[in-house]
């Protein structure tokens, strides 16, 4: 077995950080050397880099340090490039959402695709439950790539269809409309983060914060 040097890069504030130790443990048990960084400029020479929950721009001289620079994205690329694709698709009312592992390229979200799966949701999950499903699907793709490397490289598929893009979300996107029903805005309540970007509405000149929790499964 070839001992790969694997680097995982996440933003320091990303939600995915809570789950990364599990991925590292599974890679180490397979016999690989693993580094975990929060700054793309600290990437060293190696074999594979996984950019997970990482919004940093990676210059070409950094990409050149490793044989493969891999990103996981929750859409049917090239449709749904850009920011927060899972959130946007939940807001669109989708319950079956593709997730792909592809090669990073200088043009954002444009590299060849190695693997694709579909995440299945019930339409009732709140953000923490969505994140668990997303993390598990992400790690499955990462491990499948490593377990089938280097043969998997020959299965790469180019992105040839027309692209679409999602914009970056802001806390303002957690705004509720007090004149709409809860049912109409349930998907928005599912994707808000109670601490970082909670749901809110404004009425009679006042702003009200609304935190949502689910009782039971």
DSSP H or E run through 120: strand 113-120
Q: What pLDDT was estimated at residue 176?
A: 98
Based on the domain organization, do 111 and 187 belong to the same domain?
Answer: no
**Structural domain includes residue 215:** no
The full DSSP string for 131-169 is HHHHHHHHHHHHHHHHHTTTGGGGG-B---SPP-EEPPP
DSSP H or E run through 81: strand 81-82
Helix (H, G, I), strand (E, B) or coil at 88: helix
Based on the domain organization, do 91 and 187 belong to the same domain?
Answer: no
144 within 8 A of 115, measured Cβ to Cβ:
yes
Let me know the angle formed at the C-alpha of 27 by 25 and 31, rounded to the nearest 5 degrees.
110
Domains of the chain: total: 2
**Tens digits of per-residue pLDDT, 121-166?**
999 999 999 999 999 999 999 999 999 999 999 999 998 888 999 9
Q: Which domain holds residue 178?
A: 171-210
Q: What pLDDT was estimated at residue 109?
A: 64
Place of tokens 């949502």: 212
Q: At residue 201, does pLDDT exceed 90?
A: yes
Based on the domain organization, do 155 and 195 belong to the same domain?
Answer: no
Greatest extent of the chain over all pairs of C-alpha atoms, in Å: 66
Return d(Cα 160, Cα 217) in angstroms, integer: 40
Q: Give the pLDDT mean for 88-105.
A: 96
User: What mean pLDDT, rounded, does the chain reach?
Assistant: 95
**Tens digits of per-residue pLDDT, 102-119?**
999 876 667 899 999 999
Does this model's pTM top 0.75? My answer is yes
Q: What pLDDT was estimated at residue 183?
A: 97
**Tens digits of per-residue pLDDT, 47-90?**
999 999 999 989 999 999 999 999 999 999 999 999 999 999 99
Place of tokens 């444009």: 110
Q: At residue 24, does pLDDT exceed 90?
A: yes
Based on the domain organization, do 110 and 144 belong to the same domain?
Answer: yes
Q: What pLDDT was estimated at residue 108?
A: 66
Based on the domain organization, do 123 and 158 belong to the same domain?
Answer: yes
Place of tokens 């709409």: 180
DSSP H or E run through 68: strand 66-73
Based on the domain organization, do 95 and 149 belong to the same domain?
Answer: yes
Percent helix, percent strand, percent coil in the chain, to nearest 5 = 30, 25, 40
Based on the domain organization, do 186 and 107 belong to the same domain?
Answer: no
Based on the domain organization, do 71 and 138 belong to the same domain?
Answer: yes
């Amino acid at each position: 077995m070839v001992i790969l040097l694997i680097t995982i890069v996440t933003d320091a504030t990303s939600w995915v950080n809570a789950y990364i130790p599990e991925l590292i443990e599974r890679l180490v048990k397979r016999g690989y050397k693993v580094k975990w960084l929060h700054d793309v400029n600290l990437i060293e020479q190696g074999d594979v880099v996984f950019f997970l929950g990482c919004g940093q721009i990676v210059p070409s001289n950094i990409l050149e340090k490793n044989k493969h620079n891999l990103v996981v994205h929750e859409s049917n690329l090239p449709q749904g490039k850009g920011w927060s694709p899972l959130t946007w698709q939940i807001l669109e009312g989708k319950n079956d959402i593709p997730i792909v592992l592809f090669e990073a390229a200088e043009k954002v979200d444009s590299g060849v695709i190695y693997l694709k799966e579909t995440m299945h949701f019930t339409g009732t999950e709140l953000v923490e439950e969505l994140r668990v499903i997303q993390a598990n699907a992400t790690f499955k793709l990462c491990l499948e790539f490593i377990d089938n490397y280097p043969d998997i490289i020959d299965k790469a598929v180019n992105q040839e269809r027309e692209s679409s893009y999602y914009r970056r979300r802001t806390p303002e996107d957690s705004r509720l409309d007090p004149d709409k029903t809860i049912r109409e805005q349930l998907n928005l309540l599912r994707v808000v983060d109670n601490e970082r970007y909670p749901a809110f509405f404004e009425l009679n000149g006042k702003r009200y914060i609304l935190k949502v929790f689910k009782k039971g499964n």
